[in-house]
Structure 1
C-alpha cells in the first residue's frame, strides 16, 4: 500500500501543530530551561520553524516581560546588593574582554566588526549587546550572523555546564548567582542556569546580569565613536544605541514589591509565571536557530568566542570565590 504524499499546505500545518504542542509542553511542570532550549533547537533543525517571522520578536518581548515580573519577587535591598557586587567586576572584566578580543581578532584575522560583536556579546549580555552594537557600527548581516551564532552555541553549552560545575566547586548561592551573571552571555541562559541552582542564586544572577546590561549604552556609544570615521567616509548612517528600558521597569517592580506589603503576598505566583515565561523564551530562542546561522560560524570566530568565554569565566570565578561569600 502506497503512503500518500502530503501537500505543502499539509506539511506546514503539521509543522505548526508540532511547534505549538512543543511550546505548550514548555509551560508544564515537566519542562525545564535546558529541555526547552534543546527542544527548540531540535525542532529548528529537523522541522524548521513555521513561525520564524514572529518567534524572534516574541522571544524578545516575552523575555523582557518575564524579567520585569521577576522584579516583583525580589526585595530592593537584594537587587541593589547584587547589582553593586556585580558592578565591582564590570569595569575590569568588560575592558579586559574587549582588549583580549581585539588582539585575538587580529591574530585570527577575523573582520574587525565581527570580532567586536563577539567581544560585546561575551563581555556584556549576549544577543542584546550584539544587536545594539551592530546597529551603531552598521555591521553586515553576515557579521551579525557570525557573532549571534557563536554566542548562541556558547549560551546553550553554559546552560548545561554551569550548574554541575557550581555544585562540583561547592559554590554558595551568592557565588554561583554572581558568576552566572558575569560569565554567561544572555539573560535567558543566566536565569535558566541559576534557577536550577536555587532561588537565591536566581535573584542574584538576574540583578548582576541586568546591571551589566546597562553597559550596552556606553559601550555602544564608544563603538559608534571608534567606527565613526569609517562610517562617515562610506556615507553610512550612524544610529543611536538601543537603550534596555525594561531594566528600569524591573527595578520599579522591585520597589513596588518592597514598599507595598500587599504585593509581597502574591509575588510567588508572579515569580512562577515569570519562570514559566522564561522557559518558553528559551524554547523560542532555540527554535530561532537556523542552518544559515550555524554555517556562518567558522572555526576562527568560534575559537575567539571560546577563548574569551574561558577567560571571563575563569578570572571572574577566581575573584568571586575570594570576595563573595
Structure 2
C-alpha cells in the first residue's frame, strides 16, 4: 500500500519514542506518558531536527492516529456507569465548564492571544487536558506549535494542582467526596486527577476518577459545537468573497461519532473487562504516539515568540475553575 510505504518510517519513529515516553510515564506518573512524549519530541525536533524521511509519517501520526486513539478510548467508557455516579457532580461540572470558556475567551481577547490557542487552552482546562486538546485540534485546524504550547501549559498547572490541592482540601475541611469532586473538576489530566485524589484519600481518589470520566464525555458535545461554529465561520468567509475551500463534511469530527459508538458498545456489554482494559491501554498509548508526533512537528522558536501570555491565560482559567468548584460546593453545602 502506497500510503503505508510513505508513512511507515515516521510512524515507527513516533512509536519508538512513545515506548520510551510511556515507560517514563509509568515511572513518574505525576508527569505521565503524553507529556514525556511531547517534550521528547520537541527537544529532538529543535535540537537536531527530524529527518526528511520521517516527515510524512510524523504528520500522519499527529493527525490520523490521534483520531484513532480518541475512538479507542471511547471503548473504555461505560456511559451508564458514568451517568449513575456522575450525576451528583453535574451542576459543579457544568458551571466550571461554562466559567472556564468564558474566562478563556474573555481574557484571551483582552491579551490578544490567537483564537485557536485560546480555544485549546480553554478546552484543555475545562474538560480533560491533552485528550480534549487532541480532539479539538483537528477540528479547528490548529498548528502543532499551538497544540504543544497548550498541552505544556495544562501540564504545568496539573503539577501545581497535585502538589497544593490535597493540603488545600484538608485546610478547607473537605470530606472525601467533596475533595474528589474538586479534583475531578479542577485538575485536567486523568493521571493528575488520580494522583491528587488518592493523595487525599482512597475514597476521594475513586470518586475523583468517576467525576473525571463524566467530564471526559463532554468531549462529544463540545467537539460538535466547535465543528458547527468553525463551519459557520468558514461559510461566512466564503459568502464574504474570501477564497476558502469550505466543506462541512471535511471538518466534521467523524471520529467523535466513532468515540460515541465505541462507548455505546461498551455500555451495552459487547466488550468484556479484558477487552476494555486492552482498549484503554491501547488508546492511551496511541495518544502518547500522537502527541510525540506533535512534539516532533513543533518549532520551539515559535513557542518562545508567542511569549508568556498563553501561560498567564492558562493560570487565569485554572484559578477560575478551582474557585468556582470550591465556591459551588460551599454554597450548596456539599463540603
TM category (shorter chain) comes to: 0.5 to 0.7
| Residue-by-residue CA offset, 1:166-191 (whole Å, 9 max, x unaligned) | 23333222111111111111223212
**Contact 1:117/1:147 (<8 A) preserved:** yes
**Contact 1:37/1:156 (<8 A) preserved:** no
| Residue-by-residue CA offset, 1:208-239 (whole Å, 9 max, x unaligned) | 12212222222222222222243243215442
1:324 aligns with 2:334: yes
| Residue-by-residue CA offset, 1:221-264 (whole Å, 9 max, x unaligned) | 222222224324321544223428668877987997xxxxxx9x
Determine which of 205, 208, 212 is the counterpart of 1:209: 212
Q: Which residue of 2 aligns with 1:260?
A: none
Counterparts of residues 279-298 of structure 1 (less than 5 Å): 292=298, 296=303, 298=307
Q: CA deviation at 1:288?
A: 8.2
* Structure 1: stretches of 5+ with no match in the other structure: 1-15, 257-262
Give the alignment's Cα RMSD to 1 decimal: 4.7
Alpha-carbon distance in structure 1 between the residues aligned to 2:67 and 2:195: 15
Counterparts of residues 99-138 of structure 1 (less than 5 Å): 99-138=102-141
CA pair 207-59 structure 1, distance change in 2 beyond 3 A: farther
TM-score if structure 2 supplies the norm length? 0.65
**Contact 2:181/2:211 (<8 A) preserved:** yes
| Residue-by-residue CA offset, 1:134-190 (whole Å, 9 max, x unaligned) | 222222333333322322322233233323332333322211111111111122321
CA pair 250-203 structure 1, distance change in 2 beyond 3 A: farther
CA pair 144-35 structure 1, distance change in 2 beyond 3 A: closer
**Contact 1:98/1:123 (<8 A) preserved:** yes
| Residue-by-residue CA offset, 1:257-280 (whole Å, 9 max, x unaligned) | xxxxxx9xxx9x99x999999999
Counterparts of residues 149-164 of structure 1 (less than 5 Å): 149-164=152-167
1:34 aligns with 2:16: no
Q: Which residue of 1 aligns with 2:245?
A: 235
